[in-house]
Amino acid sequence: MDLKLAVLIDGDNIPSAYVKEMLEEIAKYGNPTIKRIYGDWTKPHLAKWKTILLENAITPIQQYGYTTGKNATDSAMIIDAMDILYSEKVNGFCLVSSDSDFTRLATRLREAGMMVFGLGEKKTPDPFIVACDKFIYIEILKQRNKTDDKEISKEELQKSDVDKITPKVIKLISATIADLADDDGWAFMGDVGNLLQKKQPNFDSRNYGFQKLTPLISSIDKFEVEQRENQKGKFRLIYTRNKD
């Protein structure tokens, strides 16, 4: 059964250009039954949001900035999140912001048994990222469906706006495979992906130019990938192991 999600957007902190891709991404994880965006709608910098809100059935929440230098939007969003939590109408939250001020909120929601997804720009501070079950960089959502993984050359990857596969990333994948490996060193790819997500909530193959984990791992010569027949279904099972 799909999660019922409350989507809470920090309008002061997220570009309106990403909203379509964000909502498509969120729909992969559950049903967004509540969609709200917070900001001072008397301010001209939020004008771009107005048409988008109608098109995507997002409810704007007005919050005046009463004091210079204080972010009243954050407070309103946090108060609403707690009200929604106690209403028991949802079982997950999507917090859309690049602001570390929502770190404690994400932690509190998870303590209450909620699944918490974070979406924000790559400038998002680490404390907020690790407080979420999963964190998605909105920049990678614009890159989706531009081309198939198999058609991306190494030269194209180097030119595109993606992160490099560093030794630190390779070490993380290698250690995760080792944690799950059987006596022959093989680990089920689905389990590898799940554990990577738990270890590092912002781990996403799309950060490195790949739509899925299997093509990412296949592109690194330190790992082997093997497909096996699935006796219970038509799709093959994919396993991986460290070469060394």
pLDDT for res 45: 75
CA–CA distances in Å: residue 101 to residues 9, 13, 59, 107, 124: 13, 11, 22, 11, 11
- State the amino acid at position 215 in one-letter form: P
Q: Is 179 left (phi over 0), alpha (psi -120 to 50) or beta?
A: alpha
SS3 state at 223? strand
* CATH (one of 1.10.760.10, 3.40.50.1010, 3.40.50.970, 3.10.105.10) for 3-143: 3.40.50.1010
- For the chain, give the mean pLDDT: 86
Give, in degrees to the nearest 5, the angle at Cα 140 between 136 and 143: 150
SS3 state at 112? coil
pLDDT for res 162: 76
pLDDT for res 102: 93
Q: pLDDT band for position 177 (50/70/90)? A: very high
56/20 Cα distance (integer angstroms): 8
Which residues fall within 8 angstroms of residue 164, CB to CB, at 6 or more apart? 208
Per-residue model confidence as pLDDT tens digits over 191-220: 999 999 999 999 999 999 998 999 999 999
Query: Average pLDDT of 162-185?
Result: 93
The token pair at 199 is 């270890």
Name the phi and psi angles at 225, rounded to 5: -130, 135
pLDDT for res 1: 55
User: Burial, 186: exposed, middle or buried (Cβ in 10 Å; 0-12, 13-18, 19+)?
Assistant: middle
71/63 Cα distance (integer angstroms): 10
Number of H helices, E strands in the chain: 9, 9
Per-residue model confidence as pLDDT tens digits over 91-111: 999 999 998 889 999 999 999
pLDDT for res 240: 96
Q: What is the DSSP letter of 233?
A: S
Instruction: Considering only residues 72 and 135, tell me which one the structure prediction assigns the higher pLDDT.
Output: 135
The token pair at 235 is 């799709």
pLDDT at 153 over 70: no
Neighbours of 58 (CB within 10 A): 20
75/37 Cα distance (integer angstroms): 13
Q: Are 96 and 120 in contact (CB under 8 A)?
A: yes
Report the DSSP beta bridge partners of residue 223. Answer: 242
pLDDT at 161 over 80: no
Fold topology of 149-242: Nucleotidyltransferase; domain 5 (3.30.420)
Q: Are 138 and 21 in contact (CB under 8 A)?
A: yes
173/165 Cα distance (integer angstroms): 11
- Residue ranges of domains in the chain: 3-143, 149-242
